Chains A and B, each alone.
Chain A
Amino acid sequence: QITLKESGPTLVKPTQTLTLTCTFSGFSLTTNGVGVGWIRQPPGKALEWLALIYWDDDKRYSPSLKSRLTITKDTSKNQVVLTMANMDPVDTATYYCAHPGGFAYYDYWGQGTLVTVSS
């Protein structure tokens, strides 16, 4: 059974760096082909893909946010960490981590964590 859960601060100030952790179970990031992605959703708005890391440490980023994002993995802890620098109020959103299936659809999602950016 695959599960994922996001954790991190609920409130960050403008210009700060956000660090979110995705803790997962039911699969291993040492297995060929496996990855973990991050997707966010501002309140009342659509989904936006952010980043993805694969078992071989290949990393993909949203071009529009690439300069601000870093994704890493800790296979010993079954965790993936996303950092986003220079946070702005427009980055207020629910942040989800998710497991990509064979054709890069997302078949398992965490519950999401709402991050508010405000001074």
Chain B
Amino acid sequence: DIQMTQSPSSLSASVGDRVTITCRASQSISSYLHWYQQKPGKAPTLLIYVASSLQSGVPSRFSGSGSGTDFTLTISSLQPEDFATYYCQQSYSTPPTFGQGTKVEIK
């Protein structure tokens, strides 16, 4: 299985901050990397697919970049509704695997 490692595991930030979350794959996954947001008690929602494509309805402050093994999710200006846990997922090979999550908390 391809291992997905996110960093940091958690972070504290203020409204308006620029936030960057990193996801690293244990082998090259081309651009088959997707990002999700999950709020407590809710299902994950898709933010970014194939590394940098913004899912319909997702605010433009969210962006993704990277290819190969290293990927980044950036929130350009953190909003109150963005406090949540974020997961990356690879779909380069079966089984699809997820990172361990990054919890974004209020500073």
Measured CB to CB, the residues of A under 8 A from B are: 46-49, 60-64, 96, 98, 101, 103-107, 109-112
Contact = CB atoms under 8 A, between A and B. Distances in A.
A112 B44 CA distance: 10
Contacts of B99: 46
Given A60-B94, A60-B95, A105-B89, 5 more contacts: A64-B1, A98-B43, A104-B91, A104-B96, A106-B46
B98 interface: yes
Q: Which 5 A-B pairs have the closest CB atoms?
A: A104-B91, A105-B34, A109-B43, A47-B98, A105-B49
Nearest to A97: B43
Contact of B89 (A47, A96, A111): A47
Interface of B: 1, 32, 34, 36, 42-46, 49-50, 55, 87, 89, 91, 94-101
Contacts of B87: 46-47
Contacts of B46: 101, 105-107
22 contacts: A46-B98, A46-B100, A47-B36, A47-B89, A47-B101, A49-B95, A61-B95, A63-B1, A63-B95, A96-B43, A98-B43, A101-B46, A103-B32, A103-B34, A103-B91, A104-B96, A105-B46, A106-B46, A107-B49, A107-B55, A111-B42, A112-B43
A62 B101 CA distance: 20
